Structure 1
């Protein structure tokens, strides 16, 4: 009986599996965003695959699929094909950002991250939220981004021992997507690289994850840049993105079903130690996908704002090149 149920489940998943491909190369489009148009959505995995059936999502009649470097695709779920093709879109990056390798001397400058393991000082990551933090260009000389350090907060298995550094931590394996934007009128604008950049964080990383982006040749524009982080979901032990449930369904008193976004671990600690309000949030699947500064009066209801915790304290290491 158990074997039969496994076969039945596998056949249902196989039938519901959809793959997003580049229409020209036929290569998978990794981690494409799949919006349901009602405030919810999912992500394809590294092979461009995601699961969708009317049984899983009975109230969804269309999908809106997007990925950096491709034209958006809006498609009905009726008679949905198991292969969806995205058309590449020609973009122009700024000349200084075209991956030119500078073979000259440089010095490194590091802005340290702001770390905190206090549960009540943390943002709870959800699929629909992307967080971006602004960094200025600190010199007139050419600068390249070498590393980005993302603070993460760990939770103890025993709540009463949560403040002890040697307490056993809750396990997690979570995939994040990272993007870099130029600053356009003070908000995240055009992307600085079309490379897909992801990393997997676990409790073994400790209080932060340092991401090396040296190979991407990302140079800092004159107006500064934004670096963003977005949770994609939990993974298996090999780092493969799992078909996570993106929201919880809770029945209200009147019998209607309310969908609440699922929170993923690790938590992201916010800080009050920065002079400016440099953190921006956008709801990927709602509010027109527009960036807003994380601040009072911008429609955010958060205990973090009540405590004047306005910023996610990402750390950066620059490579500043010497003039020849």
Structure 2
């Protein structure tokens, strides 16, 4: 175990030592947290909470341009040659709709959309840095609704595969940072964002199988035609909850040349066949502008989940339904 830890620390140090540490800030010198840095070839990485990211030609020698984007800011195109230590992003025109100026008054009833959980390793989605997963929730009420918390089903893995069915089996250690995004319903697909604030959470091997994330402070109200809630893995973290600058892709030599495969991140996300309608959507974050597609056989090829009839991630919500508007 100690040897493994030394190897991880050495690799992390080696990456940091040979990389360009760049900070992304706004024009008022505030960090642009969790900005997206695309390589233009379907690959990329993310900045951390301080707006910092690590780029090295040793790991990404074929990349000459970075495409930087963040919600609420204008996109940037930056050459990797002489990459600056600081990148300044300009605020874009605010198109975010202010649905409510004040929080609703009066009593509310808490409605629960229960998550779907199971213990089958083979019926789970294994997140990668390039994929974002969104679940659609219709508006089933006429009164004002605010999302109070997310109920996020997860599955952690046993350290010893042969003992995976034992409740007392030790779990494989990890610490992964996720970002939550909320989108309007745009003709059946995720559309404009509902908030510019960053909603992030960390999962590790000690997390409950249904992780509750409180989001009341973000004031997410359900539009008339429903909303999409997405999960996006940002990467592994250290003990201080900071993103690690570990390599996001593995390279394999083939007859066609070097092929990059995205690194997979724990935990697994259980998929279910207990939801009748198809309401899960996916996109490639760093490719084709991030076009959303329904998670089904017509759009996704060679998916073992779809072959098993598992079309949906069983995300749950707690919603405050107000009696008085």
Please tell me whether the aligned partners of residues 13 and 51 of structure 1 are also in contact (alpha carbons under 8 angstroms).
Answer: no
1:87 aligned partner: 90
Please tell me whether the aligned partners of residues 143 and 321 of structure 2 are also in contact (alpha carbons under 8 angstroms).
Answer: yes
Which stretch shifts more, 206-215 or 155-164?
155-164
Please tell me whether the aligned partners of residues 184 and 190 of structure 2 are also in contact (alpha carbons under 8 angstroms).
Answer: yes
Structure 1 segments of 4 or more deviating over 6 A?
Answer: none
2:154 aligned partner: 152
TM-score by length of 1: 0.93
Instruction: Encode CA deviations 1:157-193: one digit per residue, 9 max, x unaligned.
Output: 1212212222211111000010000101000001011
Q: Are 2:154 and 1:134 aligned?
A: no
1:17 aligned partner: 21
Instruction: Encode CA deviations 1:73-117: one digit per residue, 9 max, x unaligned.
Output: 11111221111111111223334245x212211010001111123
2:167 aligned partner: 165
Q: Are 2:50 and 1:47 aligned?
A: yes
State the distance in 2 between where 1:256 and 1:15 align: 25
Please tell me whether the aligned partners of residues 97 and 192 of structure 1 are also in contact (alpha carbons under 8 angstroms).
Answer: no
2:64 aligned partner: 61
SS at match of 1:304: helix
Residue 15 of structure 1 and its aligned partner are, at CA, apart by: 6.0
Indicate how the Cα distance of structure 1 residues 86 and 154 shifts in structure 2: closer, same or farther if over 3 A, else same.
same
Please tell me whether the aligned partners of residues 294 and 300 of structure 1 are also in contact (alpha carbons under 8 angstroms).
Answer: no
Q: How does 1:269-288 map to 2 (within 5 A)?
A: 269-288=270-289
2:122 aligned partner: 120
1:3 aligned partner: none
2:262 aligned partner: 261
Q: Are 2:16 and 1:27 aligned?
A: no
Residue 208 of structure 1 and its aligned partner are, at CA, apart by: 2.1
State the distance in 2 between where 1:62 and 1:224 align: 38
Q: Please, which runs of 5 or more residues in structure 1 have no aligned partner? A: 1-5
Please tell me whether the aligned partners of residues 15 and 245 of structure 2 are also in contact (alpha carbons under 8 angstroms).
Answer: no
State the distance in 1 between where 2:15 and 2:175 align: 27
Q: Are 2:307 and 1:303 aligned?
A: no
Q: 1:232 aligns with which of 231, 234, 239?
A: 234
State the distance in 2 between where 1:107 and 1:299 align: 39
State the distance in 1 between where 2:219 and 2:39 align: 34
Please tell me whether the aligned partners of residues 66 and 80 of structure 2 are also in contact (alpha carbons under 8 angstroms).
Answer: yes
State the distance in 2 between where 1:255 and 1:216 align: 47
State the distance in 2 between where 1:243 and 1:12 align: 7
Instruction: Encode CA deviations 1:14-73: one digit per residue, 9 max, x unaligned.
Output: 8610110002x1111111010001111011111111111322311001000111111111
Indicate how the Cα distance of structure 1 residues 166 and 10 shifts in structure 2: closer, same or farther if over 3 A, else same.
closer
Instruction: Encode CA deviations 1:248-293: one digit per residue, 9 max, x unaligned.
Output: 11112x3721111100000111000001100000000124310000
SS at match of 1:160: helix
Which stretch shifts more, 194-203 or 297-306?
297-306
State the distance in 1 between where 2:99 and 2:258 align: 50
- Provide the alpha-carbon RMSD of the alignment: 1.8
State the distance in 2 between where 1:223 and 1:267 align: 30
1:36 aligned partner: 39
Indicate how the Cα distance of structure 1 residues 69 and 84 shifts in structure 2: closer, same or farther if over 3 A, else same.
same
SS at match of 2:99: helix
Please tell me whether the aligned partners of residues 20 and 86 of structure 1 are also in contact (alpha carbons under 8 angstroms).
Answer: yes
Indicate how the Cα distance of structure 1 residues 12 and 191 shifts in structure 2: closer, same or farther if over 3 A, else same.
closer
